Amino acid sequence: MSRTASDLPVSLVPSGSYLISKGKPAVLQADLGTCVGVALWDRTARVGGLLHLLLPEPPGSDAPYQPSTYAATGLPLFLERLVAEGARKNHLEACVAGGALIGRVSRLDLNLDIGGRTADIVTTILAKEQIPTRQSELGGYFTCRLSLNLQTWETAIEPFGIATDSADAAPSERLDLDHLEASIKQVRPIPQIALKVLRMISEQDYRHADVVKEIMQDQVMSAKMIGFCNSVFFGLRTRVDSIERALFVVGEKWLLQVILTTALEEFLSQTDLGYSLCKGGLFQHACGTAAVAKGLAHFTGRIAPDLAYTAGLLHDIGKAVLDQSMHTKRPLFYRSLQTVRGDLIEAEKGLFGITHPEAGNWLANRWSIPEPLTEVILHHHQPEAATIEPELTLLVHLADLIMSRFMAGCEVERLSTDALRSRLARLGLSAEQFPLLVDQLPRAINNSPWLAGSSAL
């Protein structure tokens, strides 16, 4: 007896990668914004897969970091691997989706046309290979979810992003300072060791030996470090059972990231389906922004990478505060986002009377988070307002923008590119180099254990 789609295991295919399966019942999914998804299958050979493309072609002259990231190299590679698994080209069928213009569309979006050019290359290659497209929804202004059922070979392209909750909700009063204070008290604080590490990174003055000493005095953090080292990310053959061995495995490269990320995981996971579009979406977005910000720091050479990672991880902590009041306002919240064309800040002002950067600033001051990091939390939507570490705030803004456009499916935010040209210029970059920054995303996904969005088949 065949199983329904809801009974099958689901594998999420992240940006810049693909999954192929032969004869294993499952559902492959890709959450698409500007990215383009391509599902291909041979129902006779019972081989199929899904490719999640980020860019039309490699943005630089060097060899591409990961060929599956780009339509020009990824789709031919995907076809080659399908044939190697037993598919025949003349039996293949296709379904394509994505390539949308997300959020407030600027002239720069239209000039770059990243999604449109990716879609054009895909359709050209499929036509050249004479592969029929059974379903296609390209372009538009909304995110979507592309699914391929490997048991029935049915595909689906469904709107994804702003929820369509039809429940009625009466308008409620805006948050005042007392309500905000109450919401902050309901949020579990992050451990003291994490706050100490924040200050060390902000001041760029720390010794790893001092951090290790602090960890060994914290039983909860020690247990998390051991658990992290035993995760599939490290692929160790022998089990780590002591903090000394765990710290040896992690090494200095990962030590601070593990402390901060594990501390923020519990904090950001307190939120439900308000800002998040999936379970853990807000945490995934924070990890992605942190990882991309770190990559941009390496790429530009303007900011210390560990500082950029930390700032990216913290930038949206205000959402965890406002999410405490979301359960009574959720239908109004999504309806408001549709009214203001996805402008989250305007929706928050209208509904709460306060924005998540302002709520985050309030929380950061309560926790005595260092000023450079607090400034990022407050101004990551308007980096021009930053005065202490303006380039740090700008870097996190760009990482946030890349996540909102090219890693759909985590949370509702869709940043505008209206001022992108001038903001890139402040880092010595041109708008035409923006794809080089987007190209940091698959590197961030591959290098972060917290962004392992797919499961192997």
Helices (H), 342-389: 344-351, 356-366, 371-379
Q: Secondary structure of the chain: what % helix, strand, coil (to 5)? A: 50, 10, 35
Cα 347 to Cα 340: distance, rounded to the nearest angstrom: 7
Closest CA to 57 of 438, 393, 345: 438
**Which pLDDT tens digit goes with each residue over 189-223?**
788 888 888 888 888 877 777 778 888 888 878 88
User: Quick one: tokens of 127?
Assistant: 């036509």
Could you say which residues of the chain have pLDDT below 50?
Answer: 1, 163-172, 453-457
Side by side, the strands of the sheet bearing 27-32 are 10-12, 27-32, 144-149, 155-159
Count of beta carbons in the 10 Å neighbourhood of residue 163: 18
Q: Give the per-residue pLDDT at 328.
A: 61
| Residue 214 to residue 98: CA distance in whole angstroms | 47
Which pLDDT belongs to residue 168? Answer: 47
Report the b/e string of 21-40 with b at 16+ CB within 10 A: bbeeebbbbbbbbbbbbbbb
Own/partner contacts of 390-393, CB < 8 Å, gap of 24 or more, are 390/426, 391/302, 391/303, 391/426, 391/427, 392/303, 392/307, 392/308, 392/311, 393/311
Amino acid 103: pLDDT: 66
CA angle 294, 300, 304 (to 5 degrees): 50
Spell out where 107-210 has E strands: 133-138, 144-149, 155-159
Burial class (CB in 10 A: 0-12, 13-18, 19+), 65: middle
Please give the pLDDT value at position 453.
46
Residue where the block lists tokens 């590119």: 417
E strand residue ranges, 54-154? 93-98, 133-138, 144-149
**Cβ 144 vs Cβ 97: under 8 Å:** yes
According to DSSP, the β-strands at 133-138 and 93-98 are: parallel
* The residue count for the chain: 457
Q: Residue 5: its pLDDT value, please?
A: 56
Rg of the chain, C-alpha, whole Å: 22
**Domains along the chain?**
5-159 (3.30.1330.200), 177-451 (1.10.3210.10)
pLDDT of residue 297: 94
Q: pLDDT tens across 292-307, in order?
A: 999 999 999 999 999 9
The DSSP symbol for 68 reads G
Instruction: With both helix axes pointing from N to C terminus, report the angle between 344-351 and 356-366 in degrees, rounded to the nearest 10.
Output: 80
